[in-house]
Structure 1
Amino acid sequence: MWLLKVLVPLVRLYLCGMKVLLYQLFNRSFPLPVLPKQNGRVAIVTGGTRGMGLETARHLASLGMHVIIAGNETEEGAAAVRKIHEDGCEGKVEFIFVDLTSLKSVQQFAQTFRARGLPLHVLVNNAGTMLVPERQTVDGFEFHFCLNYLSHFLLTNLLLDILKRSGRRGCCSRIVNMSSATHYAGVMDMEDLNRRMCYSSHGAYSQSKLGLVLFTYYLQEQLTAGGFPVTVNAVDPGMVDTALYDNLWTLAQMLKKPVAKTLFRTPAEGASTAVYTAAASEMEGVGGCYLYNGQKTQSSDLSYDSELQAELWKKSCELVGLQEA
């Protein structure tokens, strides 16, 4: 039984990966259209020091946005800011520290941002980790669950009032959650969200990405019901050649290298759908969607389960110490 619980999520995840690779073999990456200038708008991009996060921050800054890169590597953050400035971007770029494996750090980041008195028009929940060995965060949460999902859930809720105030009809604030095709393989075990009964890094990763989609749909329903000028969407970047794959098994790493050169997207290509969702005129007022390769796509059947969405929201509020709205 234990072996089955480990093997099933592994097989399901790699089958998802094969499906994505086949798609990428026969379909070119989404080309970004010309996007409108974003002068005067403020964005936060988590995990913006490298990979897709850096490319997202770079592109938003090139449109004139004031971009705040949120990450846990101060030197890497300073280097990312310099790199974007050297590209001659029109917007302001800065780095603020946050450790998404610590709820206290997330709260401190939110307090730091609030103290600046800035508006917030775009929040890109991009940071993530994949297939790390079993470990717990300082708060006792499973690593993938906390970093990929729970901390972004908390951050979004702590900044939600600013997003609501910053948006207006015809010019909504936007939340972009970086999910993954692996969410199709995800199972949300509400009795064991920390995967302590039977750990599988593949299952934990898939669960965290499914959590982001469930969160996206539930939050959009709340925002729509309240008439707030904020939209939230989940995006799937495809398979992208980034450091996320550093935790693959040795054999998988060997197989990945030649495949990545021909079939994986570049970080800039992987970021394109997130940038499009954050800034395109076509996405104005559009929320509650799952986008892949620039197109609205059906997410997993499980992700549309409204009871599961509500249950996860309630449980997440309990875990991070928020009063349920």
Structure 2
Amino acid sequence: MWLLAVLLPLIRLYLCGLKVLVYQLFHRSFPLPVLPKLNGRVAIVTGGTRGMGFETARHLSSLGMHVIIAGNQREEGSVAVRKINEVANEGKAEFVFLDLTSLKSVHTFVQMFRDRGLPLHVLINNAGTMLVPERTTEDGFEFHFCLNYLGHFLLTNLLLDLLKKSGQPGRCSRIINMSSATHYAGVLDLEDLNMRICYSSHAAYSQSKLALVLFTYFLQEQLAASGSPVTVNAVDPGMVDTALYDNLWTLAKMLKQPVAKVLFRSPAEGASILIYAAAATELEGVGGCYLYNGLKTQSSDLSYDAELQAKLWKKSCELVGLQKT
């Protein structure tokens, strides 16, 4: 029984990956359209020191935005900011420390941001990890669930009123959540989100990405119902050649290297869907979408379960100490 519980998530995850690779074999990467200038607007990009986060921060800065790169590697952050600001004309980038596996760090980051009196027009919840061996955060949460989802859930909620104030009819603030095709393989046991009964890093990763989609849809419903000038969408970049795959098994990592050269997207190509969701004119006022390769795509059947969305929201509020809404 234990072996089955470990093998099934692994098989499901790799099947999802295989489907994506077949798609990418026959479909070119989504080309970004011409995007409007965003001078004077402010964005936060989590995990923006490298990979898709860096490419997203770089591109938004080139459109004139003031981009806050939020990450937990100060040296990487300094390098990333220097690279962006060397070529930025109207926009700029800066690094601010944020450890999404620490609820205290999330609160500290938000307070520091608020103290500066800046508006916030775009929040890109990009940071993530995959297939990390079993471990828990300082607050006792399963590592994938906290870094990929719960930390972003708290960050978004603590910044939500600022996003609402910064948006306006016809020019909404935007929240973008980075999901993955692996969410199709995800299941959610609200009584065992830490997976203490039977741990699988593959199941943990898929669960965290499913949670992000459920969160996206529930939050969009709330925002629409209240008439708030904020939209939230989930994006799927496909399979991208980044450090996310560093924790693959040795054999899988060896097999991945030649395949990645041919079939994986580059970080810049993967970032295109994040940039598009953050800046495209045609997405003005559009929320509650799952975007893949530039298209609105059907996410997993489970992700549309309104009851599960509400239960996850309530549970997440309890876990991070927020008043339930």
1:119 aligns with 2:119: yes
Q: Whole-Å Cα distance in 2 between the matches of residues 46 and 56 of structure 1?
A: 10
Q: Which one-letter code corresponds to 1:102 in the other structure? A: S
How far apart are 1:308 and its partner, in Å?
A: 0.2
Q: Whole-Å Cα distance in 2 between the matches of residues 150 and 136 of structure 1?
A: 13
Q: Whole-Å Cα distance in 2 between the matches of residues 99 and 56 of structure 1?
A: 19
Q: Which one-letter code corresponds to 1:204 in the other structure? A: A
How far apart are 1:87 and its partner, in Å?
A: 2.4
Q: Deviations over 1:153-205 (max 9, x none)?
A: 00000000000000000000000000000000000111100111100000000
Alignment correspondent of 1:55: 55
Mapping of residues 80-229 of structure 1, within 5 Å: 80-229=80-229
Q: Whole-Å Cα distance in 1 between the matches of residues 121 and 204 of structure 2?
A: 31
Query: SS of the counterpart of 2:124?
Result: strand
Mapping of residues 206-285 of structure 1, within 5 Å: 206-285=206-285
Which 5+ residue runs of structure 1 have no aligned equivalent? none
Query: SS of the counterpart of 1:117?
Result: coil
Provide the TM-score with structure 1 as the length reference: 0.99
1:15 aligns with 2:15: yes
Q: Deviations over 1:125-146 (max 9, x none)?
A: 0000000000000000000000
How far apart are 1:92 and its partner, in Å?
A: 1.7
Q: Calculate percent identity across the aligned residue pairs.
A: 82
Query: SS of the counterpart of 2:67?
Result: strand
Q: Which one-letter code corresponds to 1:144 in the other structure? A: H
Q: Deviations over 1:53-80 (max 9, x none)?
A: 0000000000000000000011110100
Q: Deviations over 1:203-235 (max 9, x none)?
A: 000000000000000000000000000000000
Alignment correspondent of 1:289: 289
How far apart are 1:86 and its partner, in Å?
A: 1.7
Q: Is the contact between residue 58 and residue 89 of structure 1 (CA under 8 Å) also seen in structure 2?
A: no
Q: Whole-Å Cα distance in 2 between the matches of residues 102 and 191 of structure 1?
A: 21
Q: Whole-Å Cα distance in 1 between the matches of residues 130 and 89 of structure 2?
A: 31
How far apart are 1:277 and its partner, in Å?
A: 0.4
Q: Deviations over 1:247-291 (max 9, x none)?
A: 000000000000000000000000000100000000000000000
Q: Is the contact between residue 180 and residue 238 of structure 2 (CA under 8 Å) also seen in structure 1?
A: yes
Tell me how many residue pairs correspond in the alignment: 325
Q: Whole-Å Cα distance in 2 between the matches of residues 300 and 180 of structure 1?
A: 11
Moved over 4 A (4+): none
1:30 aligns with 2:19: no
Q: Which one-letter code corresponds to 1:135 in the other structure? A: R
Alignment correspondent of 1:306: 306
How far apart are 1:90 and its partner, in Å?
A: 2.4
Which 5+ residue runs of structure 2 have no aligned equivalent? none
How far apart are 1:89 and its partner, in Å?
A: 4.1
Q: Which one-letter code corresponds to 1:253 in the other structure? A: K
Query: SS of the counterpart of 2:113?
Result: helix
Q: Whole-Å Cα distance in 1 between the matches of residues 246 and 40 of structure 2?
A: 37
Query: SS of the counterpart of 2:8?
Result: helix
Provide the TM-score with structure 2 as the length reference: 0.99
